[in-house]
Structure 1
Amino acid sequence: MRITNGYFGNTMLHSLQKSNGKVADLMTQISSGYRVQRPSDDPIAAVRLLLIDRDQAMLGQYRSNIDSLSIRLQQNEIRLNGMLKDVESAYELMTWATDGSNTSADLNAMAGTLESLRDNLLSQVNATDNDGNYLFSGTKTDTPAVTYDPNAAVGARYRFTGNTDTQQVVVGQGVAQAANVSADDMEALLNQIDSALELLKDPNVDVNDPATRAVLEASQDALLNGVGVLGAKIAKLGGAQNTISLLDENHAAMLVSNGQAAQVIGELDYAEAYDRLNNYVTAVQGSYQIYSRVMQLSPFDVILR
């Protein structure tokens, strides 16, 4: 059977294109350092690499959430520490005020300090973040945590207007952490301080009057309870920050581990790749030489012999 030049040429061209394609693939692998450039290179490895990429993206998002949450928790803690200092100072003042040796003038002088502490406490309760969102209003971040109504009766002029719902932030697989702290318990405390302040401002206030002492001692008890409540909130925030810090460290370790796994799965064996490349290049060069020699042949060369 006679093989035509056209058929032979097409066959050789197809073979050369295939070999050149292999060479190009190897060059791409060598330049990138990864042997899996497309799923067909190694379907199983390609699937595993896709799963690792998905995990890496999720871990990166968790770490980003943790960074934002950490800033929010730190803001909350700073404000709560400020509240705690004000409440502790007010408690010390109330303890002093209940001393039976105080005169009316003494109690009137204390009113100015207590009023400043009350106003500062309200300011801390209604603190906002850099975006103007209220920190202690639950999920009602556009509403002050506590509002003041000057027309209401003394002891009822402060009202909690936020809610106690939590803003959950996903920080791990199936793990969420509350980003906010509610200030609902500050309503009663502010009203109790306000009641005591009204008495201390009275020019004729008598510390030994039973009604006066009852209000001052109730305020003292409320402030002591406030110290405990705020201390517990701060401790809870500290625990939350420790938790997310450990989670962040775990996520960072997993990112490194996944990166190493991806490298093992998809890393190119350079020695093997260069050996294969040399083989392909040699084959291509040989094919060109054979094609050139064959194309120079003629049936007349055989006849003449």
Structure 2
Amino acid sequence: MRISTQTLYESGGARISDLQSSVVQTQQQIATGRRILTPSDDPVAAARVLDVSQSQSVNTQYGLNRQTATSALGLVDGTLSGVSDLLLNVKSTVVSAENGTLSDTQRADIAAQLKSNLTSLLGLANTRDAQGNYMFSGYQTSTPAFVQTATGAQYQGDQGQQLLQVDSSRQMAVNTPGQTIFQGGGQDIFQTLTSLVNLLQTPGAPNPATLNGLSNNVDLALNNLMSVRASVGSRMQELDSLNSVGSNRDLQYSQTLSGLQDLDYAKAATLLSQQQTTLQAAQQSFVKISGLSLFNYL
């Protein structure tokens, strides 16, 4: 069977083109460090890479959400620590006011101190976060949580809980409504402080039973605050655990992706050398064959 000169050129050129494409692909693999450059290189592995990459991206977002949650809860806990210190000071002051030998002037001084404590407590209750949102107003973050009244303070927020998806099956509240903190546990600390101020400003020794009842309310406020802080602390500990799980999961995803798409440089270098040698031989052969004519055989 005769092979025409055109066919000879076409087959030789196609062979060289295929070899050149193989060399270029291997060079690109070495340059990128990736075995899979296009899905057609390995459709099954490419599909798996896409699936694992998406899972890793979601896991990364959970990690970012946990950072946000940790920051928010840390700010809440720090503020509640200040509230705790203030209430302990109030308790100590109230105990000193139970001394029956105090004069009206001394009780008035104590009342002034408690009034200052009340102002400070309202300030803590209306704390804002870094974005300027009121932390203890529930969903009503643009509204101060409390406004002072003649009998104490009125809550202006709601019971909304701001939830963040911190893992695939876990949504976590990153706030605590102010009403739960300052008016929960069977007491209203603003009302208690206002009553204490009014009681101690009134001339004459206060009714011991009344003063004792208000002192007990301060204890209830401290106990309630302790429960709230325990809840916040528990959530922060859970976030630490979830961070550990998330980090391990991310490592597994990275290892899986590496196994699917990372290039074996040693094998790739050997393959490239072989491909270049084959290409060079094919080119030389093509040049020799294409240079032949009928006169070579006469």
Q: CA deviation at 1:99?
A: 3.2
| Alpha-carbon separation, structure 2, partners of 1:134 and 1:91 | 27
What is aligned with 1:206? 205
Q: Is 1:224 matched with 2:219?
A: yes
What is aligned with 1:31? 31
- The amino acid that maps onto 2:279 is V
What is aligned with 2:259? 264
* SS in structure 2 of the partner of residue 181 of structure 1: coil
- The amino acid that maps onto 1:256 is L
Q: CA deviation at 1:265?
A: 1.8
Q: Which moved more, 1:161-170 or 1:182-191?
A: 182-191
Q: CA deviation at 1:71?
A: 1.4
**Matches for 1:123-272 after TM superposition, within 5 Å:** 123-149=123-149, 154-155=150-151, 157-185=152-180, 186-187=182-183, 188-202=188-202, 204-207=203-206, 212-272=207-267
What is aligned with 1:111? 111
What is aligned with 1:85? 85
Q: Per-residue CA shift, 1:3-61, capped at 9, x if unaligned?
A: 32222212211111111001111111122222111111111211221122112212221
| Alpha-carbon separation, structure 2, partners of 1:90 and 1:54 | 54
Q: CA deviation at 1:189?
A: 1.5
Q: CA deviation at 1:239?
A: 1.3
Give the CA RMSD over aligned residues. 1.7
| Alpha-carbon separation, structure 1, partners of 2:78 and 2:272 | 63
Q: CA deviation at 1:272?
A: 2.5
- The amino acid that maps onto 1:6 is Q
* SS in structure 2 of the partner of residue 138 of structure 1: coil
- Structure 1, unmatched stretches of 5+, are none
Q: CA deviation at 1:125?
A: 0.4
| Alpha-carbon separation, structure 2, partners of 1:254 and 1:40 | 28
Q: CA deviation at 1:72?
A: 1.2
* SS in structure 2 of the partner of residue 158 of structure 1: strand
Q: CA deviation at 1:206?
A: 2.2
Residue-pair matches, total: 293
| Alpha-carbon separation, structure 2, partners of 1:176 and 1:231 | 23
| Alpha-carbon separation, structure 2, partners of 1:301 and 1:38 | 47
- The amino acid that maps onto 1:206 is A
Q: CA deviation at 1:164?
A: 1.4
* SS in structure 2 of the partner of residue 184 of structure 1: helix
Q: CA deviation at 1:275?
A: 2.8
- The amino acid that maps onto 1:60 is T
Q: CA deviation at 1:95?
A: 2.3
Q: Per-residue CA shift, 1:141-176, capped at 9, x if unaligned?
A: 111111123xxxx43x41111111110111111212
Quote the sequence identity (%). 24
Structure 1 contact 107–205 (Cα < 8 Å) conserved: no
Structure 1 contact 196–215 (Cα < 8 Å) conserved: no
| Alpha-carbon separation, structure 2, partners of 1:296 and 1:41 | 37
Q: Which moved more, 1:159-168 or 1:258-267?
A: 258-267
- Structure 2, unmatched stretches of 5+, are none
Q: CA deviation at 1:120?
A: 0.5
* SS in structure 2 of the partner of residue 170 of structure 1: strand
| Alpha-carbon separation, structure 2, partners of 1:134 and 1:301 | 95
Q: Which moved more, 1:126-135 or 1:85-94?
A: 85-94
Question: TM-score if structure 1 supplies the norm length?
Answer: 0.90
Q: CA deviation at 1:214?
A: 4.1
Q: Which moved more, 1:17-26 or 1:82-91?
A: 82-91
Q: CA deviation at 1:195?
A: 1.6
Structure 1 contact 143–161 (Cα < 8 Å) conserved: yes
